[in-house]
Chains A and B, each alone.
Chain A
């Protein structure tokens, strides 16, 4: 077993330290050592997107990155979306538009859609579908997920207008 190392990064705005073997995947550190069970595991092979988090301004499937790669990174997970008791527009949109059923894909979906709206604040339906294609959902058929993202896009743009 390789020697363990301490890795420090910012998780939803808070500085954290975690002791890991070099082979440990970020999703496991988040879920098992840092009590952040919002990102889920659907495959561990980087196909499903349930584990999506945002690292330094990029969507990342956290089953595909080693924790040791995250030294000094800024990591955002679903747990970081609600601010001061107020839901993020995407969280609200997913509820209002019935964009979730079992909820398993939802944290990854919201985190991915967050990055989409940062890069493209008013995406077309086609752009939303394309951007969300790395995140699988077995329950909703995506139609209401598209609507949820549009809801958030509208809300965010009217707030910033």
Chain B
């Protein structure tokens, strides 16, 4: 039946799934009325300033608080010994390790937290912090992860030196954290031994930082009378914070309230629990007044939430036609001084085993060895699911390396190895089941859009003239939406998520979810999902998250899990409501439930659409006595959604660069990104996420890195040194899409925010290396700064006229 104008109008009123609805959250942000952490001000609140270690590895001989306590305005100085009576001197990490809240006897990385000065305002607190006298005895420093397991390496973690494991299997050295592997090593080795062609490359994902515009912070407020602890916090996962705080402090979880508020970007930085939060909580318990702690930018880049630092080796075995027979990837992971890596318990290397990518690779083996060094602890997943960027970077770089070795075009080598669309669901040789995909279609669409053949011709002409032009391809598969509780838990808590919907008598609704927006626009998009499911206008559906007293339990927003997990919970909770509504409608219309059909915002009697009940009418009826026998009043539902599988968004990207061989400067001439995130909830927001993710990919590929000298000193931790692209450097982005719905997700959505970061980084690197491919270059490590690219030109002798 053709949709009538009336139906189209009703549909449009919903502003549901698939519409570019403007964002609900903007109204406060454009007026400067957001409530970010540093905007919270409670009566009597004091400020905490951190005293940090100037050394990367040193013993603390003594700490003298006297001069600090004499500073006007200083109220207290807390050190590790002050935390011991409340047993909060050490805390569990999300990586199954423990971490010193304040350094206990020794410091293990530069700028490690040593003491917190509590004072009446931030100026007095920082004056006080300057006056805390700490006497250090320097120790030998371990910076290079490759030397971490040497026999004579300095032992970083004396506290666990005699432990033969820290949560993830046997350790073989005091600086060893874990070794994790997947796949069939023997079978892989034997394919390599007999392969027609093999390629091997050392590939680094340098240490970087997500660096959201807002740093981390909290306001902790403990009420001595009621025993209630309220913590306003920059957390992407408020419920997990509540559980950890309960485990740590012994305060009943029911008396702890964690409030997320507005968050000024997260990108992974705001998942872990940091010492600053814990000390602020203790300080509030001790002083009985609220305590605010706000991280400085330098502390942010130096101490909380670094990402990557994966030193990889990629190997592929193939036949002469470039068909891959086996993959062997290994990585040495530098986790710094404490393993506060955010990882599911059973997945210490995250989802690294997605490294077979979009390709049909029959045999594979991967392995990660993680070690301690004298660097800040971590790491986090920087706009990606855990270790997915590292995995995708390796496979997408190696595809190019193999293509070059065999002189096969870089698009063609991908075509030859893609998992065919008719093979889904497809089980990878490393144990994942890719739910859906159509890689050939995506690639061909992109190649056509950019005139790939034409670009290659132009490149050949430029090369003949000695000019450098690079064409980068990336055809990635992401893995997001952690995740099925049988494989994914953190500290024993499954990574399900939740939604609680209450429909009011007048047909408006409020929904609360276990996730936490940091700019993704959840208040807008979740309402769209529910609007379509319930036939109520998204304008009348209020979304709340981040307050643990209100929202049902969930694992938060990271790893692009909001749409795959909480978005599914929203749809399922709405369906429970719709099922009840159907029973009410049948009762009111005096027909059987089976005689009704759903149409946009109402139930119609089949064959007689004039007889109908709208959702609004049903909402009112649900709050009366006129209900089917035995039915309770109300129109509410809660869903705890345990996803049956991860989701696997994919994309095909092309990047064209021109490189000045005399200066090493790279100009991104064109970037074309096709993403397939399944069902599209809000195209405007999707496009915004892709722009942002590509820009963060650009940042990583062309400038971000956190370097150290041999003493473990940071060499670039302010925004002067650490590269955040401005509007001037940032390229123009072209976006496109295909839609391959996830078969197991209630609305077919897959998640999108991370794809452009994960897929963008290798695409940029592939473009830069491709510019040098005709000169025999197979790999260049990031970041591709002008200086480093110029060094490559110099090494090739092409930098002079």
Say whether A and B bind each other.
yes
B76 within 8 A of A: no
Within 8 A of B (CB), among A19-36: 21, 23-24, 28, 31-32, 36
Interface residues on B, range: 35 or more
Contact of A1 among B72, B688, B694 (CB under 8 A): B72
Contact of B30 among A31, A87, A101 (CB under 8 A): A87
Give the shortest distance, in Å, between B543 (CB) and chain A (any CB). Answer: 16
Interface centre among A78, A128, A138, A145 (most CB of B within 10 A): A138
Residue of A nearest to B40 (CB): A37
Distance of A117 Cα from B442 Cα, bound (Å): 41
Give the shortest distance, in Å, between A60 (CB) and chain B (any CB). Answer: 16
Distance of A100 Cα from B265 Cα, bound (Å): 11
Whether A110 contacts B30 by the Cβ 8 Å rule is: yes
Tell whether A40 pairs with B264 under 8 Å between CB atoms, given A91-B30, A102-B212: yes
Distance of A145 Cα from B691 Cα, bound (Å): 11
Q: In the complex, which residues of chain B have a beta carbon less than 8 angstroms from the beta carbon of A132?
A: 726-727
Could you give, for residues 115-152 of chain A, a 1 whenever the CB lies within 8 Å of some chain B CB and a 0 otherwise? 00000000000001110111111111111111000000
Interface centre among B213, B691, B694 (most CB of A within 10 A): B213
Whether A81 contacts B31 by the Cβ 8 Å rule is: yes
Q: In the complex, which residues of chain A have a beta carbon less than 8 angstroms from the beta carbon of B719?
A: 42-43, 45, 47-48, 136
Whether B692 contacts A77 by the Cβ 8 Å rule is: no
Q: In the complex, which residues of chain B have a beta carbon less than 8 angstroms from the beta carbon of A105?
A: 213
Within 8 A of B (CB), among A54-81: 77-79, 81
A94 within 8 A of B: yes
Interface centre among B32, B121, B687 (most CB of A within 10 A): B32
Whether A95 contacts B692 by the Cβ 8 Å rule is: no
Whether B31 contacts A104 by the Cβ 8 Å rule is: no
Give the shortest distance, in Å, between A106 (CB) and chain B (any CB). Answer: 5
Whether B72 contacts A103 by the Cβ 8 Å rule is: no
Give the shortest distance, in Å, between A85 (CB) and chain B (any CB). Answer: 11
Could you give, for residues 716-727 of chain B, a 1 whenever the CB lies within 8 Å of some chain A CB and a 0 otherwise? 001110001011
A17 within 8 A of B: no
Whether B26 contacts A146 by the Cβ 8 Å rule is: no
Whether B730 contacts A141 by the Cβ 8 Å rule is: yes
Whether B30 contacts A102 by the Cβ 8 Å rule is: no
Whether A79 contacts B521 by the Cβ 8 Å rule is: no
Residue of A nearest to B73 (CB): A1
Whether A143 contacts B732 by the Cβ 8 Å rule is: yes
Q: In the complex, which residues of chain A have a beta carbon less than 8 angstroms from the beta carbon of B214?
A: 40, 42, 102, 104
Q: In the complex, which residues of chain B have a beta carbon less than 8 angstroms from the beta carbon of A37?
A: 32, 36, 38-39
Tell whether A78 pairs with B31 under 8 Å between CB atoms, given A102-B519, A138-B211: yes
B764 within 8 A of A: no
Q: In the complex, which residues of chain B have a beta carbon less than 8 angstroms from the beta carbon of A128?
A: 727
Whether A100 contacts B29 by the Cβ 8 Å rule is: yes
Could you give, for residues 411-449 of chain B, a 1 whenever the CB lies within 8 Å of some chain A CB and a 0 otherwise? 000000000000000000000000000000000000000
Residue of A nearest to B41 (CB): A32
Whether B38 contacts A42 by the Cβ 8 Å rule is: no
Tell whether A138 pairs with B727 under 8 Å between CB atoms, given A38-B32, A103-B519: no
Whether A141 contacts B733 by the Cβ 8 Å rule is: yes
B520 within 8 A of A: yes
A153 within 8 A of B: no
Could you give, for residues 239-262 of chain B, a 1 whenever the CB lies within 8 Å of some chain A CB and a 0 otherwise? 000000000000000000000001
Q: In the complex, which residues of chain B have a beta carbon less than 8 angstroms from the beta carbon of A142?
A: 691, 695, 726-727, 730
Residue of A nearest to B685 (CB): A98
B772 within 8 A of A: no
Could you give, for residues 721-760 of chain B, a 1 whenever the CB lies within 8 Å of some chain A CB and a 0 otherwise? 0001011101011000000000000000000000000000
B25 within 8 A of A: yes
Tell whether A45 pairs with B685 under 8 Å between CB atoms, given A31-B38, A91-B30: no
Residue of A nearest to B521 (CB): A101
B684 within 8 A of A: yes
Distance of A24 Cα from B23 Cα, bound (Å): 37
Residue of A nearest to B724 (CB): A136
Contact of B31 among A21, A91, A141 (CB under 8 A): A91
Residue of A nearest to B47 (CB): A32
Give the shortest distance, in Å, between B181 (CB) and chain A (any CB). Answer: 35
Residue of A nearest to B719 (CB): A47
Contact of B691 among A44, A50, A103, A143 (CB under 8 A): A143
Give the shortest distance, in Å, between A151 (CB) and chain B (any CB). Answer: 13
Whether B29 contacts A106 by the Cβ 8 Å rule is: yes
Distance of A132 Cα from B692 Cα, bound (Å): 16
Give the shortest distance, in Å, between A10 (CB) and chain B (any CB). Answer: 18
Distance of A66 Cα from B691 Cα, bound (Å): 36
Whether A136 contacts B688 by the Cβ 8 Å rule is: no
B122 within 8 A of A: yes
Residue of B nearest to A88 (CB): B30
Whether A95 contacts B688 by the Cβ 8 Å rule is: no
Tell whether A101 pairs with B688 under 8 Å between CB atoms, given A43-B297, A48-B213, A146-B727: yes
Tell whether A103 pairs with B733 under 8 Å between CB atoms, given A41-B38, A138-B696: no
Whether B213 contacts A50 by the Cβ 8 Å rule is: yes
Q: In the complex, which residues of chain A have a beta carbon less than 8 angstroms from the beta carbon of B33?
A: 38
B655 within 8 A of A: no
Distance of A138 Cα from B693 Cα, bound (Å): 9
Q: In the complex, which residues of chain B have a beta carbon less than 8 angstroms from the beta carbon of A146?
A: 727
Whether A107 contacts B26 by the Cβ 8 Å rule is: no
Q: In the complex, which residues of chain A have a beta carbon less than 8 angstroms from the beta carbon of B518?
A: 102
A157 within 8 A of B: no
Q: In the complex, which residues of chain A have a beta carbon less than 8 angstroms from the beta carbon of B727?
A: 128-130, 132-133, 135, 142, 145-146
Whether B297 contacts A44 by the Cβ 8 Å rule is: yes
Interface centre among A39, A79, A103 (most CB of B within 10 A): A103
Distance of A43 Cα from B212 Cα, bound (Å): 11
Q: In the complex, which residues of chain A have a beta carbon less than 8 angstroms from the beta carbon of B724?
A: 48, 136, 138
Q: In the complex, which residues of chain A have a beta carbon less than 8 angstroms from the beta carbon of B212?
A: 102, 104, 138
B267 within 8 A of A: yes
Tell whether A79 pairs with B32 under 8 Å between CB atoms, given A42-B213, A129-B728, A138-B267: yes
Whether A141 contacts B694 by the Cβ 8 Å rule is: yes
Give the shortest distance, in Å, between B759 (CB) and chain A (any CB). Answer: 14
Give the shortest distance, in Å, between A22 (CB) and chain B (any CB). Answer: 11
B708 within 8 A of A: no
Distance of A12 Cα from B91 Cα, bound (Å): 46
Q: In the complex, which residues of chain A have a beta carbon less than 8 angstroms from the beta carbon of B521?
A: 101
Tell whether A101 pairs with B519 under 8 Å between CB atoms, given A95-B26, A130-B728, A146-B727: yes
Could you give, for residues 82-105 of chain B, a 1 whenever the CB lies within 8 Å of some chain A CB and a 0 otherwise? 000000000000000000000000
Whether A136 contacts B726 by the Cβ 8 Å rule is: yes
Within 8 A of A (CB), among B488-541: 518-521
Q: In the complex, which residues of chain A have a beta carbon less than 8 angstroms from the beta carbon of B297?
A: 42-45, 47-48
Tell whether A44 pairs with B23 under 8 Å between CB atoms, given A103-B34, A104-B214, A141-B733: no
On A, residues with C-beta under 8 Å from B are: 1, 21, 23-24, 28, 31-32, 36-45, 47-48, 50, 77-79, 81-82, 87, 91, 94-96, 98, 100-107, 110, 128-130, 132-146
List 22 A–B pairs whose Cβ atoms lie within 8 Å, in order of A's numbering.
Answer: A37-B36, A37-B39, A40-B213, A40-B214, A41-B294, A42-B297, A43-B297, A45-B718, A45-B720, A48-B724, A50-B213, A94-B26, A102-B212, A103-B30, A104-B34, A104-B264, A129-B728, A138-B212, A138-B692, A138-B696, A140-B692, A143-B732
Q: Add 17 more A-B contacts to A103-B25, A128-B727, A145-B727 (CB < 8 A).
A: A21-B123, A39-B32, A44-B297, A45-B297, A95-B30, A98-B685, A101-B265, A102-B264, A103-B262, A103-B264, A105-B213, A134-B726, A138-B212, A140-B691, A142-B695, A143-B730, A144-B691
| Leading 5 A-B pairs by shortest Cβ distance | A38-B32, A103-B29, A102-B519, A104-B264, A141-B691
